[in-house]
Chain A
Amino acid sequence: MADALQRGWRLAVLAAVFALGATLQARGVLASIGKYWGDIVYLAKQHMELVAVSGALAILIGVPLGVLLTRPGVRRYASAVVQVVNLGTTVPTLAILAIAMTVMGLGAPPAIFALTVLTLLPIVLNTVAGIESVPQPLLEAARGMGMTRFGILWRVELPNAAFVILAGIRTALAINVGTAPLAFLIGAGGLGELIFTGIDVSEPGMLLAGAIPTALLAVLTDFAVGTAQYWLVPRGVNPLR
């Protein structure tokens, strides 16, 4: 039953994609997107560089920060720190870009800074939530058997929180890819160049040449992290397998 539903759903999606493609083709839009192929490849690479650097930074800062916030002694500051990180998400992305630009000037660095700030929250939140959700008896057993604090973190807490942490990273990177087009506005390039220029010159082909690859990249990134989630999380605590 569920299987049949899922198969039907997949078919419907395929049909919709096909219909969309056919319509675009009929209107000559696909041909006009094709014109920009060279730009798409160059800008997509630039786009993904922004995502990769800011995403990596966010993971490198976010996971250790999340771990730190669950350590005894630091735990009571956790909600305060999370509030601060939260600001990064509640302040509009454009505002962060503007602030970053005034401080750091034009180009990639301020864009990477803004994207990192934006990506940080889901990673920190999920790291904290993942580690806090590790059942207390596991920690007691680990301590009672003579594991060191680091051993408990490395062999018990992180493996058992891995699924939730990776889910946070997955969300964060998908948001990151989708927001990166704004980086063009402060001169960092990326697929935003086609989108915003396309809007400015009322050229739907150019706009779509930026928008469709951006959407595809977001889906691909999500898929890639999803695959990592499947393989990296130990089987005993992986709801996917």
Chain B
Amino acid sequence: MIRLDRVSKVFGPITAVDAVTMEVAAGEVCVLLGPSGCGKTTTMKMINRLIPPTSGKIFLDGRDTDLIDEVTLRRSIGYVIQQIGLFPNMTVEDNICVVPDLLRWDRTKSRRRAAELLEMVNLDPKIFLKRYPKELSGGQQQRVGVVRALAADPPVLLMDEPFGAIDPINREVIQDEFMKLQEALRKTVVFVSHDIDEAVKMGSRIAIFRDGRLIQYDTPNNVLAKPADPFVADFVGSDRTLKRLRLVKVSEAMMPDPPRVRSDDTLDTAVRLMEEHGHISIVMVGPRGRARGVVRLDTARGRKGLVGENIEPLPGTVNVTEDLRTAVSLMFTHDVAWLACVDDDGFYKGYVTQRGITHTLGAAYRGA
């Protein structure tokens, strides 16, 4: 979708961007990451020609951007900046409709779209359409800023540290909202950030810049697992493996299809199953398969009776769609080494252990 071919930018004696070649596939979120002054913002601004490249070519959907009139080019690319830049003289509605108006869309159509878009970011159109930017909080303003970039439905979105000026709590919320939006809209996004956590969370790919050069361009997992050089390793942090916890879903690290017992099974059955699998406890499920409780090997061994009479509450459960970070956090909270994994309806799907998590994360290193 977006292809940069040996793109450079020289400001006087300084080479801000040095022969960067990269490609962003349609529907991906590419995070340009690096310390300030590394050339990430300059690279982004060359895509919509706010900064003309000194050399190299940029292709958008196969077309050389040099050959597209720059105003036309920019109207086909959504643009979000950190300072938001809503026009204070216009209402929220008119702000959202800036590009549709430039493109001379039908007015009723564009205003209706503005209302729909506001709803997508949880702002009530009835309340907000006619407001002025100064009557909105920072978080609300940036929601409008994002929505404004989407108004004319451009295939490509450029975002320059869009959530950098928002307080940490609101930032998480807006990031989540944006991810949900992106899941539905599948735009090709180039996202500038200096925050590795944000990059890991938002990016399908991360491009790490240093002194104008593209050092590493890879998936978040690979950037964290296999930093290309000491600079990247340092930049992503010594806790980079912990950051990978966020990238792996519980379902990927759990042992699926585990042994289980029902309340009318005997303790003998439970003990036999545990010994067969080398476990020290076993989950009891309800009649339809919901996780109900746990039987320990040391309580069950040598006793007679039914499982249902000897269960203890589950030490903790985690949804299979959660990431490992949540799972580990739950383990630490409950001081346990394993968790039962359940789906949205509470059905028992498997279990995840500390050893299993270590193993999953370690796979990337063993492969190398």
Residues of chain B touching chain A, judged by Cβ–Cβ distance below 8 Å, are: 48, 50, 70-76, 79, 81, 83-91, 98-99, 102, 132-134, 148-149, 158
Contacts and interface: CB of A to CB of B under 8 A. Distances in A.
Nearest to A136: B83
Given A146-B99, A235-B132, A236-B134, A141 B79 contact: yes
Contacts of B70: 146
A145 B102 contact: yes
Contacts of B75: 145-146
Given A140-B81, A145-B149, 18 more contacts: A137-B81, A137-B83, A138-B85, A140-B50, A140-B83, A141-B79, A141-B81, A142-B85, A142-B87, A144-B48, A145-B148, A146-B76, A147-B71, A159-B87, A160-B89, A234-B89, A236-B133, A236-B134
Nearest to B73: A146
26 contacts: A135-B83, A137-B84, A138-B88, A140-B85, A141-B79, A141-B84, A142-B85, A144-B50, A144-B74, A144-B158, A145-B74, A145-B99, A145-B102, A145-B148, A146-B74, A147-B71, A151-B102, A155-B87, A160-B87, A160-B89, A234-B89, A235-B132, A236-B87, A236-B90, A236-B134, A237-B89
B79 A144 contact: yes
A147 B132 contact: no
| Max chain A Cβ within 10 angstroms of own Cβ: one of B71, B85, B90, B98 | B85
Interface in A151-184: 151, 155-156, 159-160, 162
Interface string A19-32: 00000000000000
A236 B91 contact: yes
A102 interface: no
A80 B99 CA distance: 38
A239 to B, nearest CB: 10
Interface string A125-149: 0000000000101101111111110
Interface of A: 135, 137-138, 140-148, 151, 155-156, 159-160, 162, 234-237
The 4 nearest A-B residue pairs measured at CB: A141-B85, A146-B74, A236-B132, A137-B83
Contact of B88 (A142, A145, A237): A237
Contacts of A155: 87
